Amino acid sequence: MKRSGFIEELHECQEKEEKNYLSKKNIMEAAQHHQVPPARAYGVATFYTMFSVQPRGKHIIRICRNLSCHLAGAEEIVKKLRETLGIDFGQTTEDGEFTLEESSCLGMCSLSPAMMIDDVPYGNLTPAKIPEILEQIRRRENRNE
Amino acid sequence: MSEERQLRIVLRNAGLIDPDSIDEYIAHDGYSALERVISEMSPDDVIEEIKKSELRGRGGAGFPTGKKWEFTAKADSDQKYIICNADEGEPGTFKDRGIMEGDPHSVLEGMMIAGYATGTNKGYIYIRGEYALSIKRLQKAIDDAREYGFLGEHILGSGFAFDVEIRRGAGSYICGEETALMESIEGKRGEPRKKPPYPPTCGLWGKPTVINNVETLANIAPIVINGADWFKGIGVEGSRGTKVFNLMGDINWKGVVEIPFGTPLSDIVMNMGKGIRGGRKLKAVVLGGVSGSLITSEELDTPVDFNSLARIEAGPGSGSIVVLDETRCIVDIARDIAYFFRHESCGKCTPCRVGTEEMYRIIDRISKGEGEERDINTLESLGKSMMLTSFCGLGQTAPNVILQSLRKFRDEWLTHIREKKCPVNV
Ligand SMILES: Cc1cc2nc3c(=O)[nH]c(=O)nc-3n(C[C@H](O)[C@H](O)[C@H](O)COP(=O)(O)O)c2cc1C
């Protein structure tokens, strides 16, 4: 039954990495732990959208563009996010703070358009709220440092 | 919202009790169904009761739950599993999240009773990784239930042993498909398996496995407490009990409703959803998720139950109702749906991997005013091939709404192609 926790272990590895990703070393160690061949381990790490094998920012922004959010104007939010962050999907801001990603439906349809930043859901978004939300996270970070 | 038309069985406690408090759950009859089955009923009695209630799975396919349990109960094996499918990935669906966050113990109690009925001592809850709060609530519920002796060895002083573990998903719609989900729990890529064999006899690690949706499991304790006859008295022939729906789109009230099966769709949209936003006219409803069906305003009076909906090639599906008003463009909707499936196809089989890509490419072209009339035929034959030849339910249902839109809103598609413009200017 040891194998059962392989994906859980990948989650845990990724959460510990400052850069929110699975390094080659992470994958190989987890693979050895669970006696999974390296090729299969890499196949798993690249199958799931929550895992990344490339370094990412401190915070992952996941924005939904599926039906309910689409109807509520998700494209406007996407545009504003790209503009404010100066990056496209799959990219990380120069200061290493944010990575922008697309996500399939986040189950926040009654609050659409919606996104998550790390574990925190944000709903009823408008383009005007975007700079404010990002600024808040940056400020919190500075305070903690 | 017209509360009187709603009936809360699944959502009996949601919003009423503190979901983090096992004591409040117990104070509202919680775990009394578990106590009853252990002290008064044999495993066979439980299965008979669930069969008699005619409960059908709420995960989409509507398979009779009692029958599913019976297959696993009869399977001869040293190890069996109960899985709660909490991967909820269908766009426009968040009912399972509501149940898990509002009343996590109701899901656990359902799993325990399934365990008792089938002779199983191990359960997994597979929750999508994005549902951080659901994971937290359920973990707390599991820890508390263990402390109170509802999980573990010698449950309530009996010989019954059962324990539950959470497995987090990691971002993948296909992992909601039952066999892909099992692959994922086993630590692999979430690609579906060939069926048969079916999970009740050959599931997780090749062992007999009952896999049920969150909402299905939340129905179990009330059936045990109130009896199958009570449950059968709610709903209509072929669809007993209630169904939880998520209501959204161009309506005045968005949220969660629980209705007895047989309630007309128009009642849900026009009364509970308080009608179309801005006093506009209804154009269509995407029912049961983007893999579900497209209902026109002429079909809106159809009762929401398995049999009535099947007559118009629809079903309750995932429990999502997305309302579209007259200003919405059908090609734009189809494009958004095709975009989703292109992203979520797992790539295992060619019809789905290539088909979802092609569908998106063609629809995208049409939406930009670059379509040709033969594209319609291509989309139709491509969609039909995908439905017939895809390996699993993803590719088989991905074309549903798109094909129905080609049939029901053909003129609008043709206007995009012939006049290179959108009749509603999207
Ligand atoms: C592509 C695909 C995605 C699915 N996603 C889910 C899901 O998120 N949740 C769920 O309960 N069932 C989902 N299902 C259905 C499951 O395969 C399975 O039928 C269900 O978990 C059985 O539970 P039930 O009998 O209680 O309905 C999905 C099926 C397919 C083909």
pLDDT over 50 at B369, yes or no:
yes
Distances in whole angstroms, Cα of residue A81 to Cα of each of A2, A17, A19, A62, B100 = 41, 25, 20, 11, 31
Domains parsed from chain A with CATH numbers: 6-47 (no CATH), 59-144 (3.40.30.10)
Question: Is A106 or A2 the better-scoring residue by pLDDT?
Answer: A106
Among A62, A108, A119, the residue with its CB nearest the CB of B94 is A108
Helix (H) or strand (E) holding B328: none
CB contact under 8 A, B187 and A34: yes
Tens of pLDDT along A59-81? 999 999 999 999 999 999 999 99
- Cβ contacts (< 8 Å) between B88 and chain A: which residues? 107
- Cβ contacts (< 8 Å) between B400 and chain A: which residues? none
CB within 8 Å of chain B, chain A residues 14-43 = 34, 36, 40, 43
Q: Is B248 in the pocket of ligand 1 (CB under 6 A)?
A: no
Mean of pLDDT values over A122-135: 97
pLDDT over 50 at A3, yes or no:
no
CA nearest neighbour of B322 among B280, B294, B281: B294
CB within 8 Å of chain A, chain B residues 346-365 = 346
Residue-level pLDDT at B11: 97
CB contact under 8 A, A67 and B333: yes
Tens of pLDDT along B193-248? 999 999 999 999 999 999 999 999 999 999 999 999 999 999 999 999 999 999 99
Tens of pLDDT along B62-115? 999 999 999 999 999 999 999 999 999 999 999 999 999 999 999 999 999 999
Residue-level pLDDT at A1: 32
pLDDT over 80 at A145, yes or no:
no
- Cβ contacts (< 8 Å) between B81 and chain A: which residues? none
CB contact under 8 A, B167 and A106: no
Q: Does the N-terminal peptide bond of residue A113 adopt cis geometry, omega within 30 degrees of 0?
A: yes
Q: Is B33 in the pocket of ligand 1 (CB under 6 A)?
A: no
CATH topology (fold) of B3-232: Rossmann fold (3.40.50)
CA nearest neighbour of B217 among B350, B140, B118, B343: B118
Residue with CA nearest ligand 1 atom 25 = B57
Mean of pLDDT values over B241-264: 97
- Cβ contacts (< 8 Å) between B324 and chain A: which residues? 71
Residue-level pLDDT at B5: 76
Residue with CA nearest ligand 1 atom 31 = B393
Percentage of residues of chain B with pLDDT beyond 70:
99
Tens of pLDDT along B335-352? 999 999 999 999 999 999
CB contact under 8 A, B248 and A109: yes
ipTM above 0.90, yes or no: yes
Distance between CA atoms of residues A85 and A134, nearest Å: 9
* Shortest Cα distance, chain A CAs vs residue B229, angstroms: 34
Helix residue spans in A56-121 (DSSP H): 67-71, 74-85
B235-325 maps to which CATH number?
3.10.20.600
Residue-level pLDDT at B422: 87
State chain B's mean pLDDT as an integer: 97
Distance between CA atoms of residues A79 and A100, nearest Å: 12
Residue-level pLDDT at B426: 78
CATH topology (fold) of B330-418: de novo design (two linked rop proteins) (1.20.1440)
- Cβ contacts (< 8 Å) between B169 and chain A: which residues? 48, 50
CB contact under 8 A, B328 and A105: no
Q: Does the N-terminal peptide bond of residue B197 adopt cis geometry, omega within 30 degrees of 0?
A: yes
Residue-level pLDDT at B107: 98
Residue-level pLDDT at A4: 58
How is chain B split into domains, by residue range?
Answer: 3-232, 235-325, 330-418
Distance between CA atoms of residues B418 and B376, nearest Å: 12
pLDDT over 90 at A144, yes or no:
no
pLDDT band at B4 (very low <50, low <70, confident <90, very high): low
CB contact under 8 A, A48 and B170: yes
Residue with tokens 């026109």: B296
B245: its two tokens: 């729906």
Residues 6 or more apart whose Cβ sits within 8 Å of residue B4 = none
Distance between CA atoms of residues B237 and B232, nearest Å: 9
Strands (E), B97-238: 122-127, 163-168, 209-213, 235-236
CB atoms within 10 A of CB B333: 26
Q: Is B61 in the pocket of ligand 1 (CB under 6 A)?
A: yes
Among B129, B340, B343, the residue with its CB nearest the CB of A50 is B129
Residue-level pLDDT at B6: 86
